[in-house]
Structure 1
Amino acid sequence: MKINENTLLEGHQVILVPYNIEHVPRYHEWMKSTELQQLTASEPLTLEQEYDMQRSWRDDSDKCTFIILDKRQWADPSVEEERCMIGDVNIFLTNPLDLSLGELEIMIAEPTFRGKGMGKEVTHMMMQFGVAKLNIQKFQVKIGLDNEVSIAMFKKLEFQEVSVCQVFKEVTLEMMVDECVRTKLLNCTSHMKERDYRLSRSRGTVMSQT
């Protein structure tokens, strides 16, 4: 999706940046993991297929994707951005007849960064971006039944379980975006800063403005 191609979102612990070509090799290495394939219901791709997928996610109007960076590493200009990568987050517009419905996906691919509250922060940031920029009025998540950590996180965020599919072994949870949810999102993301990603190469300058 072109809407976020020059967008950087800065949180307390994470930085969200567009999924660019230089991110593909590390993303490809992640997706060789059987665990991540199962958690994301993905099939293994060749490196060339992964590059094709990156172009699709950048250009297609129904996909909005950010790469998640560890802010502490990213703050050091000597560390290459690809080394700061810890996961990705997506909003998919799955119903062409209802563009206000956004399917949310988040993956913390690096195990050492799980359980630190980063997934919760990323979710709030992406939801706020979806509401403000994409006019999302209902969020949906589909999670494998054995992914108890993610299910618990979204239920704690007040997503409601709406169905369980035993065939695909997944649960669907949803949240309607009413005024109460809008207010909570604004409060949870009051620290978030939106910047021009094209200027992020001068990381010291960006951080000094924080």
Structure 2
Amino acid sequence: MLINESTCVSSSRVLLVPYSRHHVPRYHEWMKDPEIQEATASEPLTLEEEYQMQQSWRQDADKLTFITCQPIPSTSTASGEADASGSSQAASSYKIKPTEDDASGRMIGDVNLFLKLEEHGSNDPELDNAPGEVVVGELELMIAEKHLQRRGFGRASLICFLNYVVTHMDQILSEYQGHTGSMKAGGPEIIAAKRLEYFVARIAASNERSVTLFKSLGFTTVSDEPNVFGELELRKYGLEDSGELQAWMKHYGIDAYRELPYN
């Protein structure tokens, strides 16, 4: 997506930046790891293919991607100065330095949203407009640096990402609807009536850490039994304002949330 091409999300726990060309070499090294390939259901790509994929993710209207980095010093050390809104003077005045604040040594992983139209039957109790097509947001989260796993970076990354998505939902859906409307008979005026019905994460049943993480944020499993791919499907309905997200930030010690220019 283009919506975040010049924006990053800064907090006391993580820095989320647009997936850019200078991130590709490190990302390519991550994706050589067989464990990461299995966890993300990914096939290894050549470096040139990885560059092409980066361009696709930045331009495709159904994909929103951030690279997760370690927090900038002004937010990780000045969080005690945060005011009631969760921001701090140091964070608000800081100017992000691309290729420095998000250098390869500061990269941790990534977080993604994939928008898609899915068919649902009238037996889905959570959907007020079923049966029919609904817009679903599939989430993917990866903390690739193994020495930084189990330290709260994944949860902080997901919470900050969801806060960004909910805050900018209208713009995100507008970009997606323009793309979808041009591809479907019926036109954008029909697709524009859609809204994001729920977030979903499909996680390997063996990946207990990720399942536990998503459940800690109110995601529930559709079934206790994995699908044919060995994945559990977890859904989150009703995340339409930032109230719940602000509560999560407070509970998990995520301060100084700010959106900053990235250029």
Normalised-by-shorter TM-score class: 0.7 to 0.9
Shift of residue 29, structure 1, vs aligned partner: 0.4
Q: CA RMSD in A?
A: 2.3
Does the aligned pair in 2 maintain the 1:74–1:81 contact within 8 Å? no
- Match among 78, 86, 90 for residue 112 of structure 2: 90
Pick one of 217, 220, 244 that aligns with 1:184.
Answer: 244
Instruction: State the percentage of identical aligned residues.
Output: 42
Say whether the 8 Å CA contact 2:199–2:237 is kept in structure 1. yes
For residue 206 of structure 2, what is the aligned residue in structure 1? 146
Name the SS of the counterpart of 2:117 in structure 1. Answer: coil
What residue number does 1:112 align with? Answer: 147
Q: Secondary structure at the match of 2:29?
A: helix
What residue is the counterpart of 1:202 in the other structure? none
The worse-fitting range, judged by mean Cα deviation, of 28-37 and 112-121 is: 112-121
Unaligned runs of 5+ in 1: 199-210
| 1:161-196 alpha-carbon deviations (Å, 9 max, x no partner) | 0134342000000001256x7411133346310000
> Aligned pairs, how many?
196
| TM alignment of 1:97-176, pairs within 5 A | 97-99=133-135, 101-135=136-170, 136-163=196-223, 164-176=225-237
After TM superposition, the score normalised by the length of structure 2 is: 0.69
> Normalised by the size of structure 1, how large is the TM-score?
0.85
Highest CA radius of gyration, 1 or 2? 2
Match of 1:62 in 2: 62
Larger RCO, structures 1/2 (Cα 8 Å, 6+ apart):
2
Query: Helix, strand or coil for the counterpart of 1:28?
Result: helix
Amino acid aligned to 2:134: D
Q: Conserved in 2, the CA contact under 8 Å of 1:24 and 1:51?
A: yes
